[in-house]
Amino acid sequence: MIVRNFFVVSFLVALLFFASTTPATAATAVDDSVLYKPAVERSFQQALNLFRGTRYAEARALFEQIVDLPGTNHRTSASFLMAAKSRYHQGEYAASVVLLQAFLERFERSEYLDDAQYTLALDYYQLEQYRESARAFLKVRQTSPDPLLAARAVKMLGLVAQENLDSEEVRELLAEANQTETKALLTVRLAQKVLQTGDARGTRELLSTILGLPDTLSAVVEARQLMKKIDQSGVVRIGVVLPLTAKSDESLVHGVGEELLDGIRLATDEYNAESMPKVNIELRDSERDAGVAARQVSELSSDSQILAILGPVFSNEAIAAAEIANRRGAPLLTPTATATGIASIGKYVFQANPDFVTRGRAMAQYATLERGAHRFAILAASDSADRSTTEAFIREVLDLGGQIVDVQYYKPGQTDLRDELTAMRQRGLELTEPIVINFGAKARPADLKKVANWGVPQYVIDSLVTSNSVATVESLFGNNGRRVADSMKIPTQRIRAKYDSLGMPVAAFDAIFLPISSLEEIGIVTSQLRYFNFQAQLLGNGNWYEPNELEQQRQYCNGIIFTADTYWDEINQQYQQFTKQFRLKFSKDPTKNSMIGYDSMKLLLNAIRQGARRREEIASMLGSSQTFQGIHSKISLGSSRVNSCLTILQFKNRSIKKIGEIDVSRKTIIGTDEQR
């Protein structure tokens, strides 16, 4: 609730003072329905004089003495009300409420009912029970024959509705109102609250219901002023930098820019149809050139009327432009750039797409925390992007207490992985090679004594010596057998596996992480993993999200789990509504880039809708911990200013299914119902 300001409190006290004189004056009349008692009258007048002299405690005591007299006298009801008013002036609001409720139940036909209801409303207000206070003021307005009391009730009703109620509470009051004046007042108060959310269209619809009423109603004058404010609210501008043409013949680049722009325009049109202030797009072409992108961002960020910049799209463009925007305090949100370190340039730079480090951490967290994997091998492309992802994966696994047994890199486009997988196979089989102690002829008596002293039964040792056998250190000393044998300096031997025997499966890894650089590597990597007989859960990066290629390689890829920065469910209501509006506007189906453009623009527009009118406010709202649910993905920027949300997918039984969502910054994993 909004805190009462000084003006409201002062106005409230003044109104109460005037209202308090009303019942006292009216109370000089004798209630003819009961016997007149001179002694009671003298006590009442004495109490009334004390009240008028602000000696409220003494007045209350006398009023309550009259109330407590046996039976009912001609001053009983008036004393009830004045005792309650005295309690109010003493700050005993709850006690005043008790007295007034008793009064309203006992004296249903009293001429003081409306005055009692008004005082009750003031008590509720002071107790911060604003909904009850507003209802009581409304009741006074609708039932009181006293025009002055009714007018005071309307003023207080308007103040409470404006300062202390939310929009739903005002709607409830509006539904209960039955007088034109009150309905108009509450309609304006509701419209003001709706406008605070940025919903200009909803505000107009509310105001239009009362604009036809006479201007003699003060609420109608307010409504016209509010409508004028909407009309004169002005326009804010957002810069958009996209690759719309290219110096070389790159039709794909042109398509990306146009698709993103479609989504951006749809989001802007939807916002402008129902919110204020209006938003205009300042569109610039990066020409798929980092220098051009930097120049365009420089011009936009130099214009103080540009609140924020959406774009550039590609990482090299974003890197070139981000430092300029940050230096000039212009929030820059790149919708698709994935390079690590762009957002770290400064507090005004944001990445709506997870960077390579986030992607590596995401898969490490999911495999370790959700799947319980502990021991990993990695086969990764050696380009800078995949190496960055791999290194982040390794760090996160180690931080989570996992083990990286082997890491093998190959060159992007390499088709023969024999050397890398042979080395990985050897490391995996080494984990299963038993460590033994030889009890044959060369066993030294001193070592046999150490074994016996540790606790191995003598008959077991004798049997092993007699048969010239070997025994694993685990069978002799338990799970930490190797460490125990080393501590006693007892010679051990490793029983070597037959590395060249591909019939022996490698099952020592819980999972193998496979960050590939292109879809062509899907079949190369998985078929050779199968040939070298690895048996482990396969984990991938976003480049595995290629349905056609996975289908072609399904005999090798079944079960692989990978991250995705974009995923939509076609039966999702939000997606269906977006698709419907997109088709109506552009007469075509949306693409992945259309969704990204739409979501990124909505993220900026939401900040404006919530009241951001300066660059610093935009940056602050973008960097908040709130998670935005978009069409293509969730976006959570947080303190790192990089989206930390990814979707976890699995290709299994010839279909790709969503099995979870992860927020890396929070280490929060949400599995699907099917997965759980």
pLDDT band at 101, cuts 50/70/90?
very high
* Helix, strand, or coil (residue 573): helix
Same domain, 553 and 407: yes
Same domain, 589 and 616: yes
Same domain, 16 and 56: yes
- Laid out side by side, the sheet with 278-285 consists of 278-285, 235-242, 306-310, 332-334, 349-351
Same domain, 545 and 559: yes
Q: Which of 158-162, 244-248, 321-325, 652-656 has the lowest mean pLDDT?
A: 244-248
pLDDT single digits (tens) 657-666: 999 999 999 9
136: nearest Cα among 263, 19, 54, 17: 19
Report the CATH number that the domain containing residue 132 is assigned in CATH: 1.25.40.10
**Domain containing residue 273:** 235-354+575-640
Same domain, 349 and 362: no
The predicted pLDDT at position 475 comes to 87
Is 648 within the bounds of a domain? Answer: no
Is 419 within the bounds of a domain? Answer: yes
Pairing of strands 645-652, 561-564: antiparallel
Q: Identify the residue with better confidence: 350 or 107.
A: 350
Dihedral sign, Cα of residue 564, residue 568, residue 572, residue 578: positive
Q: How far apart, in Å, are the Cα atoms of 146 and each of 23, 113, 203?
A: 12, 11, 33
Same domain, 274 and 330: yes
Residue 13 has pLDDT above 60, yes or no: no
pLDDT single digits (tens) 496-538: 766 667 888 999 999 999 999 999 999 999 999 999 999 999 9
**Pairwise CA distance, residues 545 & 113, whole Å:** 73
**H helices within 218-289, ranges in order?**
218-231, 251-274
The predicted pLDDT at position 130 comes to 95
The predicted pLDDT at position 500 comes to 66
Biggest CA pair distance of the chain: 128
Give the containing element (helix H, strand E) for 571.
none
Residue 253 has pLDDT above 60, yes or no: no
The mean predicted confidence, pLDDT, of the chain is: 89
Residue 186 has pLDDT above 90, yes or no: yes
Same domain, 343 and 421: no
Same domain, 13 and 102: yes
Residue 571 has pLDDT above 80, yes or no: yes
Is 518 within the bounds of a domain? Answer: yes
Residue 24 has pLDDT above 50, yes or no: no
Number of domains in the chain: 4
Report the CATH number that the domain containing residue 606 is assigned in CATH: 3.40.50.2300
Same domain, 367 and 489: no
Is 257 within the bounds of a domain? Answer: yes
Same domain, 317 and 402: no
pLDDT single digits (tens) 36-86: 788 889 999 999 999 999 999 999 999 999 989 888 888 999 999 999 999
Residue that is written with structure tokens 């997918």 in the block: 649
Last residue of a domain, one of 145, 165, 185: 165
Same domain, 554 and 445: no
Residue 18 has pLDDT above 70, yes or no: no
Is 180 within the bounds of a domain? Answer: no
The predicted pLDDT at position 497 comes to 66
φ/ψ of residue 517, rounded to 5? -100, -15
DSSP 324-349: HHHHTT--EEESS---TTSGGG-TTE
- Cα angle value 191/193/199 (rounded, 5°): 75
The predicted pLDDT at position 220 comes to 93
Same domain, 271 and 332: yes
